[in-house]
Amino acid sequence: MQTVLPGTMFRVELDNSHLVLATICGKMRKRWVRLTVGDRVKMEMSPYDLNKARITWRLK
């Protein structure tokens, strides 16, 4: 994770240095999972829009 934006949006840098605008999924919001800069996350991406993603899991 690179930057925290307002409205539960995050700017995430992938392993190939591509920047993606991501939001957290509903279950993470419901469980109050906190994300900070530097966390590694698992994301879902659509093959149609490679600039947006949904964060589904926070990795250790």
- CATH classification of the domain holding 44: 2.40.50.140
C-beta neighbour count of 43 within 10 angstroms: 18
Question: Is the separation of the CB atoms in 1 and 12 below 8 Å?
Answer: yes
Which are the contacts of 48, defined by CB distance < 8 A and separation ≥ 6?
none
Ranges of the chain with pLDDT below 50: none
Percent of the chain surpassing pLDDT 70: 100
Range of the domain at 23: 3-58
For the chain, the domain total comes to 1
pTM (2 d.p.): 0.88
Predicted local confidence at residue 53, as pLDDT: 97
Tokens of 37: 């800069």
